[in-house]
Structure 1
Amino acid sequence: MTADTGGREGWRQGWARRLAALTGWRRLALAAFCGGLAALALPPLYLFPLLVPAFAVVFCQLGGARNGRQAALIGWAFGSGHFAVGLYWVGIAFLVDAERFAWAMPFAISGLAAGLALFPALAFWLTFWVAAKSRLTGPARVVAFAAAWLVSEGLRGWVLTGFPWNLIGSVWAFSAETMQLSSLGGVWLLSLITVIAATAPAILAQPALRPGRAYAFVCLALLLPAGSWGYGAWRLAEAPAVGTAVVEEVRLRLVQPSIPQKLKWRRDLRAGHLRQQVRMSLAPGHEDRTHIIWAETAIPYVLSMEPVLQRELAAIVPPGGYLIAGALRVLPEQPDGPIWNSLYALGSDGKIAATFDKAHLVPFGEYVPLRALLGFTKLTAGSRDFTPGPGLQTLKLPGLPAFSPLICYEVIFPGRVKSASAEAPRWLLNVTNDAWFGDSSGPYQHFASARLRAIEEGLPLIRVANNGISAVIDSYGRVIDQINLNDRGIIDAELPEAAEAKTLYSNAGNWLYLVELIICTCVIFVLRRFA
C-alpha cells in the first residue's frame, strides 16, 4: 500500500469514525438531515446522486450504534426527515378550508412523518440485530440493510391499510428506461438495487476490509442502476413504437377542468363547474370520440339520486359510447345511509350501465378513524364518512376492452391494481383529484406511481384528474400525451393496447417481493462466507 493510498483510506476511516461516534441530538439531527437529503431524489426533482451521501453517511452512523434501541432511533430520525421533506405537501390540504383546519397542518405533517418513520426505524433495528447475530460486515451488511429496508417498505404498504407512497424505487421515474426493471420484480426490485447502490460506498471507510474487494463491491453496486437502464433500453427497443399499438374503434376524450378545490363544492358554483366540463366535452372533435372520461367526483352531485341530470348528461355521450365519470353514490332507498366515492359509466340512453365504489379510502380525507374518540371531522365536503367499496373489480362495457378502475391513490399499491378473481383487464383507469395539494410535489409523485403500475402490469393506463396530471400512458410506462398540473384542457387519444406478453410481475405479483428477500438472504450468506 502506498503512502498516498494509506492517506486517502485514513481520511475516509477518520470521517467514518467521527460519524459513528456522534451521540445525542447531533446524531439524530444528522440522520434527519440525511433523510431529507434522500427525499430530494424523489419526484419531481430526481436528484438521485444525493442518495449516495444520504445513505452512506447514515449507514456509517448505524455502525456506531451500541444496541438495537440506538439503531432504531437513528432510523427513526432518518425516516422523520425523509417523510417530512417528501410528504410536506399533505399539509396543503389543510389550507383548502383554512378557517377550520389550518391549525392542524403542522401536526399533520409532523405526525405523519413521525409515524411513517417507524418503518425505517424497524429497518435499522433489523440490520443491527442481524449484523450482531451473524457478525456481518462490509458487503454482507450492506445487502442486509437493503433487505431490511425492503421489509420496511413492504410493511408500510400493508399495515393499517397501507401507504406505499414514495417507495425509494420511484426515484428512477424520470425516464421510461430506468423504470423497466419493475416489469420483472416490481418497484420492490428498483428499491432494492437503489439502496444497495447508495449504501455501498460506505464500506470504503471500513478498515477491516481488503481494499480490492471493497472497491470491487462498490463498483458492482454502482453498476446495478446502469444495468437496470441497459435492460430498460433493450426492452423499449423491442417494444412497438410509441402510439402505434392501439385498440381499433376506441377513441377517448379526457377532460381536465382544473377547478380549484376551494371552489369545487360551493353550492352556487357547482352547476357552473358541470357546464364547464360539458362544454369541454363538446369541443370540436367530439363527433369523432367514442367515450368521454371525467375525473374523480367530477359530477358534484349524488348522481344515483339525479335521474334528470342523468338524462341531461346523456346529450354529451357519443352514440353507443359512455361518459365515465366520478360522483358520489347512495342507495335511493337509503338517502341518509351509506355514501360511496364512486365511478359511473353513463350510457347515451341516460342510464347508468355500471358503477365502481372506491375501496381504499384515505384516512381523515374520506373517513375519520376513531371519530368518536378524536372528535375530528374529515377534510372532504360533507359530514358523513365514506363507506369502502367491495374491492378491485374488472368492468366490462360493450365497445370497450375490460378495464380495472382505480380511484385516486388506489393506484399507488404495487400488485394490487386489478382483481385476481375476475377476468383479466386490458387497461387501467385512474381517476383522481390532486387539486387538494396545489402546485407541490404531491401530484408528480402520484403520477410516477401510476406509470410504475402500468409497467409492472404490462397494461396501458388512462389517467384523468380534476387538476393534477392527466395522461395517456402505454403498457411500457411511456407518456403518449398529457395535460400538465394546473392546466385546463382535453386529450383526444386512442386507447393503447396491452403488452403482447404478460410481464413477470403481472404473473407472479407480490410473491416476487418474497423471492427478492430470499435471494438477498442467499447473497448475504455467500458474502459473509467469502468476502
Structure 2
Amino acid sequence: MERLAGRIILLSGASRAFVGFLAGLVAVLAQPPFGIFAAGFVAFPMLVWLIDGVSPHPEDGVLRRFLPSVSIGWCFGFGYFLGGLWWLGNALLIEADVFAWAVPLAVIGLPAFLGLFYALAVLLARCLWSDGVGRIAALAIGFGIAEWLRGFLFTGFPWNAIGYAAMPMPLMMQSASVLNLATINTLAVFVFAAPALIGTGKGTRAGLAVAAALFGAHIGYGYYRLALPAPQPPEPELTVRLVQPVIDQAKKIDDRERASVFEQHLSLTTAPPQDDGKRPDIVVWPETSIPFILTDNPDALARIADVLEEGQILIAGAVRVEDAGAGLPPRYYNSIYVIDDRGQIVGAADKIHLVPFGEYLPFEDLLSSWGLSSVAASMPGGFSAATSRPLLTLPGGRTVYPLICYEAIFADEVDGNASLSDALLNVTNDAWFGDTPGPRQHFHQAQLRTVETGTPMIRAANNGISAIVDARGVLVVGLGYNYKGVTDTILPGKMSTTTDATMRGKIFWFVAGVLLLVALFSRAGFNIRKN
C-alpha cells in the first residue's frame, strides 16, 4: 500500500491528470448498474494521494498554489460524471436530425461542467490539508459542501451523489431514516478515503477506527431496522396495478401512433388479475402516457370509463393545457391526472422541477433566436412549472405525494407532506435513455426517498423500472427494464423515521463542524511540525 501511495504521490503533469480521471471512472462503479461500493475504497485513496503529491513553491501566487489541486479535483469529477452520465446523449438521438449536434454537449460538456463541483471540493480540502487524518476530514468536508451545492445551484442536479454509493441495497439504505443525503455524502467520503492513511499519515489508527465504526454502525443499523416487523398495509387494503407498456420513444412522439399508444395502455389495464388475485383498486400509467390533450378528447375519457370497473381509479401521466389569457399563448404542464370509473378527472398535479433544455429552454428569448429548442417538449415554449405540489386525494380519502420523472432525485425538495401521504407516487418515462445505466440509477435514487420519508412508493415507468417499494426501500414487486406487462400488489404500510428534515439538516452542519475542527487541529499541528 505504501509503495502504491508513493508512486501516485510522485506523479505530475499529464500522468497525474490521467490517474485523477481514472480514479473518477473507478468511483462510478459504485453506482448502478454495478453497485460495487468497494470501488469507493479504491478511488478516494487514489484521490488523497494525488492531492498529497501537490507541493507548490512557497513563493507561488494563490492561483499557482491551488491550480494543481483544482485540476486534480476537476479530472476526478470529469471521469466520474463522464462514466456515470454518458447515456444522456441517447435522448438526443431520438430525433437525431434535430439534436445530434448537441450530443457532445450532453456527453462531454455536462460532465466537464459538473466536474467544477469536485474541483471546488478539492480546493476546499486543500485549504485545510495536512499530513494526517485531518486531510481525510478535510476531503469529506469539501465533498459534503460541493454535493450540497450541486443539489440546488443552477436548478440543481444531484444525480449520482457520492452518498448513493454507500447505499447500494436496502441493508445499507436505513441510515437515510436518520441522516440526510448531505450528511451521508460527507461521511461516505471520510470512510472511502480512510484507507489512504495506511502508511501515509499521522493518526492512522484513530482514523481507521473511526471509519470502521461509522461503517459498522451503518451496516448494524440496517440489520436492526430490517429486523423490525414489516409495515402492515392499512385497512382497507388497496391493490395497485402498475402498467408498463414499453413503447419506443420515437413512437410515443409520432402523431400517427397516438391512438395505438393509447389503446396499448387500455389493453394492459384490463388484463385479468394476477394469480386469481383481487382486481386492482388503482391502476397507474407512466409519465405522459396519455398521448394527447385529454380535456380536448372527451372520447378518450369515455374509453377510460369503459375499461375501468366500478370503483376503480386510474392515475396517469398526461400533458395539461391552461389558457393564459387574451393574447397570450396557452401554458402546458407535465401533469398527473386522477380519473374515476365515470371518466371524470377528479384530481391533478403538475410538475414543479422541470428539466433544463429537456422540458424548457433557459434564456428562451436568446437561445430560441439561435434556433435552439427543448428536447422533450414538442409544444411552443415548452412546459411551464407549477408553483406548489399538492397531495393527490383519491376517492376513499387516501392520498399520494406526486413526483414526476426526475423530481424523485431531489431529496431536499420532498417536503413534510410526503410523510402525511399514504404513498409516494413517481411516474416517469426513461425510454429517452434506452437500455443504459440511466434508468437503473434513476430507480435507485427514487428508492431512497421511501426510507427518508418512511413512506412506500408507487412507481410506474414506460420502459421500466416500475415497482412498488415499501417504507424500508425493499422492493415488493417490480417490472424489469423493457419487460412489457402489469404487476399487481397490495399497497404496503408506512414506517416511522428517526428524525425529521429539520433535525437532519442540523446533524449535517454538526458533522461538518466536527470534521472542520479535526481538520483545523491537524493543520495546526502540521504547521508546527513544518516549522
Tell me what 2:460 maps to: 464
Matched with 1:44 is 33
Is 1:398 matched with 2:395? Answer: yes
User: Per-residue deviation at 1:370?
Assistant: 2.2
Question: Any conservation in 1 of the 2:234–2:493 contact (CA below 8 Å)?
Answer: yes
Match of 1:366 among 359, 365, 389: 359
Counterparts of 2:324 and 2:190, CA distance in 1: 57
Quick check: 1:344 aligned with 2:337? yes
The 10-residue stretch of structure 1 (16-25 or 40-49) with the greater mean CA deviation from structure 2: 16-25
Q: Shift of the alpha carbon at 1:100? A: 1.8
Q: Which residue of 2 aligns with 1:424?
A: 420
Alpha-carbon separation, structure 2, partners of 1:79 and 1:280:
43
Instruction: Tell me the SS of whatever aligns to 1:463.
Output: strand
**1:97, CA displacement in angstroms?**
1.1
Name the amino acid aligned to 2:514: I
> Structure 1: how far apart are the matches of 2:389 and 2:515?
32
**Aligned mates of 2:193, 2:239 — CA distance in 1:** 47
1:393, 1:418 within 8 Å by CA — same for their partners in 2?
Answer: no
Q: How far is the alpha carbon of 1:165 from its aligned partner?
A: 0.6
Amino acid at match of 2:307: I
Do residues 300 (structure 1) and 291 (structure 2) align? Answer: yes
| Cα deviation digits, residues 186-215 of structure 1 (max 9, x gap) | 2333322321122112122326x3xxx413
Deviations 1:89-119 (A, max 9, x none): 1111111112222232122111100111111
- Aligned equivalents of 1:318, 1:290: Cα separation in 2: 9
Which residue is 2:61 aligned to? Answer: none
* 2:253 aligned with 1:239: no
Q: Give, in whole Å, the separation in 1 of the partners of 2:330 and 2:83.
A: 39
**CA 1:178 to 1:436, structure 2 compared with 1: closer, same or farther past 3 Å?**
same
Equivalents in 2 of 1:246, 1:252: separation in Å? 14
Q: Which residue of structure 1 lines up, in the alignment, with residue 168 of structure 2?
A: 174
What amino acid maps onto 2:291 in structure 1?
Answer: P
2:257 matches 1:248: no
Deviation at 1:277?
0.8
Q: Percent identity?
A: 36
Contact 1:458 1:503 in 2 (8 A): no
- 1:414 aligned onto 2:411: yes
| Equivalent residue letter for 2:184 | L
Q: Which residue of 2 aligns with 1:59?
A: 48
Name the aligned partner's letter for residue 391 of structure 1.
S
Alignment root-mean-square deviation, CA: 2.3
Question: Which has the larger displacement, 435-444 or 91-100?
Answer: 91-100
Quote the Cα distance in structure 1 between the aligned partners of 2:450 and 2:501. 10
Aligned-residue offset at 1:402: 1.9
1:262 aligns with 2:250: yes
Report the counterpart of residue 274 of structure 1 in structure 2.
262
Matched, 1:95 2:93: yes
**How big is the shift at 1:314?**
1.9
List alignment gaps of at least 5 residues for structure 2. Answer: 57-64, 527-531
Structure 1 518/304 Cα, relative in aligned 2: closer, same or farther at 3 Å? Answer: farther
TM score, norm. by length of structure 1: 0.90
TM-score (norm 2): 0.90
The answer as to whether partners of 2:360 and 2:377 remain within 8 angstroms in 1 is: no
The Cα of 1:220 is off from its aligned counterpart by 3.6
1:349 partner SS: coil
What pairs up with 1:25-40 in 2 under 5 angstroms? 25-40=14-29
Residue in structure 2 matched with residue 484 of structure 1 by the alignment: 480
Aligned residue for 2:59?
Answer: none
Shift of 1:17: 4.2
Partners of 2:507 and 2:523 lie apart in 1 by: 24
Give 1:194's aligned residue.
188
Residues matched between the structures, number: 508
Give 1:6's aligned residue.
none
Question: 2:460, 2:514 → 1: CA distance?
Answer: 39
1:128 is aligned to: 126
Q: Secondary structure at the match of 1:403?
A: strand
Alignment-derived partner of residue 199 in structure 2: 205
Report the residue type matching 2:85 in the other structure.
L
1:313 correspondence with 2:297: no
1:289 partnered with 2:280 = yes
State the partner residue of 1:5.
Answer: none
8 A Cα contact 1:40 1:48, kept in partner: yes
Give structure 1 stretches of 5+ with no counterpart.
Answer: 1-10
> Is the contact between residue 331 and residue 338 of structure 1 (CA under 8 Å) also seen in structure 2?
yes
Residue of structure 2 in register with 1:4 after alignment = none
Kindly indicate whether the alpha-carbon contact (under 8 Å) linking 1:392 and 1:419 is maintained by their aligned counterparts in 2: no
Q: Residue 83 in 1 paired to residue 81 in 2? A: yes
List aligned pairs for 1:212-223, cutoff 5 A.
Answer: 213-223=203-213
